[in-house]
Structure 1
C-alpha cells in the first residue's frame, strides 16, 4: 500500500466534480484513512472520517445476505419461483423467475422506466413516498421481459425490489427487519440504518449538493422509498468494513451460502442488442461483484445516490479492504467521477498515467 498515492487520490477538493471525499483502507497490507474537501460548502467544515452517507446500491449486499440467511434456515428456496411466493406480483404471461435469478440479476425483468437520477425529476420527487406496489406497476404494466430468465445478466434495481417483496412474504415482516435482525444488530453496526421514509441522515455526515452554474442545491435530505430494498440504506466506513469482514469470514452465513456470494453465473451480460457474441461475461455474484484491478481481485459493491458515490471491496483473504464515499456535485451520468477512478487505482496499487497525476 502506498500512503502517498492514497493521499493524492482524494486531494484537491472541492473541485467542479466533488465537494468532499473519505477513504478508509484496512487489512494486513496496511491501514490508512483520510478525507478531502468539505462537509458543508457554506461553512467549510471538514468531512468526518466516520461520517454517514447514503450507500445506494451497496444496500443490495445487505439484502442478499438477509435472503441467504433465510435460505440457510430453509425458510426460502433459491430455486422456487417468485410466482410461487407472490402469485399476483408478476404479469401472467411472464416466464417463471427464481429467487436465485433475482439474486444474480438474471431474471430478465424490466426495470422501473424512470431516470431517478435526472436532476429535474429528482428535485420534483425527492420527498415523495413510493410504495413497492407503485414501483412494480411502473415496471411491469404493459412491458415485456427483456430476455429468458437465466440466460443473461442485467444489473438494475428491479431484481432486488422484487427480492425485498419475497423476503417480506416469507417473514411476514418488513424486509428491513431481516436486515436489522440478521446483520445490523449482531454486528453492532451503530452507524447503519434502513431509513424507510426518514428523509434525514442522522449523526455526523458530509452534505450532498447538486451544482448548476455556481449555485449549490443541498440535496442531502430525500425520501429513499423509490430505492427501497435496492438502494435505500445509510452507513459509514467502519460499519461497512466490519460487515465485509464478517461476511467474507463466514460469521453471517454458513459455508454453502458464503460460497454463493462469490459464484458468478456463466452467462453473458445483457447489452440490449441482438448479437450475443459481442457481450461481455457476467461479473456479479449473489450480492457481490468481482473487480479485477491489475493483479488484484476484489469482491464488493458500488453504490450511488444524488450527492454520494461510494464503494466497498476486499480481497477474498481480507488482506486489503477499502471503503470510500465521494460527494459528487452532478447526479446521473454514465461515467464514474475521475476521483472515484483515482481511489480505485490507488487502493489496487495501480500507477496512473503521468498526464492524470
Structure 2
C-alpha cells in the first residue's frame, strides 16, 4: 500500500499501561436461556471457560453472545479500563472493523432489489470520475458483483502506512475514501476481474462511494435507512472523522514496545463502508438474524450472500460474508473484523440454529495469528452444534 505523505501530527502523547497480566482478574458474568428445540444448546461451561482469566497477555476484555433455536448464552469478562480495573461492560460499543462489510453488502443488495443498482453493471459507469485518471489500466469492466465478492482484481488503496507505529502517528488525521481509491486506481489492476479472489478493503470503499452516488446522500445515511433501522440496531453508528467512541465502551489497547498503548481514540474515516462502524454485540446479533430471515434483503438478492463465485480456486467469500467449514463438516457463514484494540465476529448457520457474535479487546488485533481468546470462543461455540 502507498503511504500518504506526512502532514501535521497531533502530539497528544501515547497512554502507556502496564501489561494486562498485572491487572485484576474479575469473574466471568454470564447468562443462559434455554429453548425447546431439536438442536443441542450452547455449551455454557465451555463458553465460560473460553473467556475466563481476562485480562491476560492476549486480551483485556471479551463480550460474547451465542444464540439460535436451541437457546442462548451471553457473557462478559475482563476490564473496561486497565488504569482503574473497572469491570468490562456487556453493553459496550466497540469498533466493528470489517464486520461493517455485512452492512455495506446488505445496503447494495437492497438497492439492487429496488432496481437502483445493477450487480452486473461496471462500477466504472457509476463512478467514472474516479477511474478516468488511469482508465487505460482497466481494460475490462469491474462489475458491482465483483466488488461484493472480492474478485475485482484491484490493488489496495492509499493508507497511512503498513505498520502500527506509522499508522498510530496519524490516528487523528483524516484520509478520505476518495483518496484511498485514487491510490488504488493509480496503481492499476493486480488481476483481470473474476480470475482471483483476494480480500481487500478497497472493494468496499468503492461500494460505499457507489451508494453515495446512487442515493445522493452520505453512506451512513443510506446504511441507517436501509439496514440499521430495519434491523433494530439502535446503538450502531458511523463516526465519520470523530476519533471517539460515543457512549459506553471498553477501552482498546495495542501491545507495542513491551507496553500497552491506549488506541481507543482513532479517526478511521478512510475505512468508512469497509470498516468504520461502531456497534454492540446485541446489535450485530440483530443484524445477522434479521438478514438470514430475509427481513433486510429480499430472498432473490439475499442469495448473493450465500453464493461463493464458481471456478476460482480457493474462493470462500460471498457478498459480505465468508463460508467457514469445520473439520466435521459444519458450515457457518461469518465475517470477522479487526481495528487496533478490537477484534470482532458475526456469524451463523444458514438456518440460524446457532449464531455467534463477539468483541474481543485484543492486544494485537491486526496480528497474523488468530487471537487466542477468540479462537477459544469459536471452538466453544462449535461444540454441541448439530
Cα pair 1:118 1:332 within 8 Å, conserved:
no
Distance 1:227 1:42 in 2: 29
Instruction: Give the drift of 1:112.
Output: 2.0
CA 1:248–1:120 in 2, change beyond 3 Å: closer, same or farther? Answer: same
Q: Does 1:289 align with 2:334?
A: no
Instruction: Give the drift of 1:267.
Output: 3.6
Give matches, 1:215-294, under 5 Å.
Answer: 215-268=259-312, 281-293=314-326, 294=328
SS at match of 2:193: coil
Structure 2 length normalisation: TM-score? 0.84
Matched residue count: 339
Structure 1 length normalisation: TM-score? 0.91
SS at match of 2:61: strand
Q: Which of 96, 118, 123 is the matching residue for 1:55?
A: 96
Unaligned runs of 5+ in 1: 269-279, 352-357
Cα pair 2:284 2:346 within 8 Å, conserved:
yes
Q: Does 1:12 align with 2:53?
A: yes
Give matches, 1:131-142, under 5 Å.
Answer: 131-141=176-186
Instruction: Give the drift of 1:186.
Output: 2.2
Distance 1:54 1:297 in 2: 26
RMSD: 1.6
Cα pair 1:311 1:324 within 8 Å, conserved:
yes
The aligned residue for residue 322 of structure 1 is: 356
The aligned residue for residue 302 of structure 1 is: 336
SS at match of 2:135: coil
Instruction: Give the drift of 1:192.
Output: 0.4
The aligned residue for residue 110 of structure 2 is: 69
Instruction: Give the drift of 1:144.
Output: 2.8
The aligned residue for residue 148 of structure 1 is: 192
Give matches, 1:42-191, under 5 Å.
Answer: 42-90=83-131, 91-93=134-136, 94=138, 95-112=140-157, 114=159, 118-141=163-186, 143-191=187-235
SS at match of 1:326: strand
Distance 1:115 1:165 in 2: 20
Cα pair 1:193 1:233 within 8 Å, conserved:
yes
CA 1:128–1:115 in 2, change beyond 3 Å: closer, same or farther? Answer: closer
- Between 253-262 and 56-65, report the one with greater CA deviation: 253-262
Cα pair 2:151 2:198 within 8 Å, conserved:
yes
Instruction: Give the drift of 1:331.
Output: 4.1
Q: Does 1:346 align with 2:373?
A: no
Cα pair 1:129 1:223 within 8 Å, conserved:
yes
Query: Which string of whole-angstrom CA distances, capped at 9 and with x for unpartnered residues, describes residues 7-41 of structure 1?
Result: 11111211111111111111122211111211110
CA 1:153–1:188 in 2, change beyond 3 Å: closer, same or farther? Answer: same
Distance 2:365 2:73 in 1: 28
Instruction: Give the drift of 1:117.
Output: 6.4
SS at match of 1:226: coil
Distance 1:212 1:283 in 2: 33
Cα pair 1:10 1:343 within 8 Å, conserved:
yes
